[in-house]
Amino acid sequence: MNRYFYIVKNKLYRHLFFWLASCVQGTLVEYAWIHTTFKNVSQPHIITLAFCFNLALMPSRIFFTYYALDIFAKKPFKKPNNLWLTFLRLSVGLMVAIILYRVALGYYIVPHQYPGNPPYTLQQLFNPQWMFASLLDIGYVGGIAVALKLYRMQTVSLKNEKKLTTDKLETELKFLKNQVNPHFLFSVMNDIHAMALEKADETPQVVVELASMLRYMLYKSVNGTVPVAEEIKILENYIQLEKIRHNEQIDVFFKKEIDDYEQMISPLILLPFLENAFKHGVDNAKDSAVISMDATLNKGQLVFMVKNSHKNQSDGEIKENMGLKNIRRQLELTYADFSLNLTDLKQTFLVNLQINLNSAKTL
């Protein structure tokens, strides 16, 4: 309710300001027309007459202006069949306004400006030349009002359209992030169950590492951005967790060259690539597996490379799974400047991700 009154109040102020400006402009025009007629009259009196004459003409302007605004507010040009009907309605309204204008001019303004002249006849009242002049005066004010109205309607429409697009993109991005529900969670839970049955010493550590990652995914990932240090930490936690799961039988190398650990980055944007490396390079390996990562950050330019060995026969053609398609779409929604290249060799899969972290989009 308060918002409604706020909008109405602003709308009322806008209209009052418009008609106040129109009244000042009309008074100045009337003064220019009549000031030479009254030679022995004081300037304040002439200004008062100009103001009164302008007020007499205002009803015709106001009538046509709001009549036209009502028509254009319904967006008549969106339907071609309505063009002729719109033109007819405008013509009728304009004719009524001209008549009001001419009546005010002929039976109020002229008798006060030229007291000795006889009253206006109907022929003088509907003189085509002066009716056209009246049309220009009325159309001038109404045209400005309609132009301002259309501009405002277009601005509001574009703003609403932008908001709808932003809301749609935000919803899509949230949906994509919610899909980052790593498959390893299911494997980890199964491993924890097996380790608990065997009363393995590593069970508490696995639970702690898993809890730390879940806490990050549930709470940190809802933020728009996090420091690079936190994203690096979650990668290290994930590596430690996977090493425990695989009894340290994997070789993981993680090289970091970070110039600013406080540089902000979209959360969980790097983890899916590491997860994918373990899924295809370790879980499917029959013997030892090797994963190497290289993270370089220099003045906001991030280069993240992940290379994992695999034993699958490859023809070089890369078919992105749902996880990679998901993360690529997240990158498109989050950063304006990035590149993601995937290379599948006979025994190696390479991910090369480059992101300008300063090009983050504002949804």
Per residue in 152-200, pLDDT tens?
Answer: 888 888 888 877 776 676 666 566 565 555 555 666 677 677 777 777 7
Distance CA 166, CA 238 (A): 33
> Do the strands 301-309 and 226-227 form a parallel or antiparallel pair, or are they unpaired?
unpaired
Q: Is the pLDDT of residue 24 over 90?
A: yes
DSSP letter for each residue of 239-255: HHHHHHHTTT-EEEEEE
DSSP letter for each residue of 220-239: ITTSS-EEHHHHHHHHHHHH
Instruction: Read off the tokens for 49.
Output: 């007459």
> 302: helix, coil or strand?
strand
Q: What is the pLDDT of residue 153?
A: 82
Q: Is the pLDDT of residue 321 over 70?
A: no
**pLDDT bracket for residue 356 (50, 70, 90):** very high
Q: What is the 3-state secondary structure (H, E, C) of 47-73?
A: HHHHHHHHHHHHHHHHHHHHHHHHHHC
Instruction: Read off the tokens for 235.
Output: 């990668």
Instruction: Read off the tokens for 37.
Output: 């007629």
Q: How do residues 9-19 score in pLDDT, each as one tens digit?
A: 578 888 889 99
**pLDDT bracket for residue 267 (50, 70, 90):** confident
DSSP letter for each residue of 99-110: HHHHHHIIIIIH
The fold adopted by the segment(s) 180-359 is Heat Shock Protein 90 (3.30.565)
Residue 265's contacts (CB-CB under 8 Å, 6 or more residues apart) are 225, 226, 227, 228, 231, 302, 355, 357
Q: How do residues 89-118 score in pLDDT, each as one tens digit?
A: 889 999 999 999 999 998 898 888 888 788
Distance CA 151, CA 200 (A): 72
From-to residues of CATH 3.30.565.10 in the chain: 180-359
Task: Tell me whether residue 10 is exposed, middle or buried, using C-beta atoms within 10 angstroms of its C-beta: 0 to 12, 13 to 18, 19 or more.
Answer: exposed
pTM, entire model: 0.56
| Beta bridge partner(s), residue 350 | 307, 343
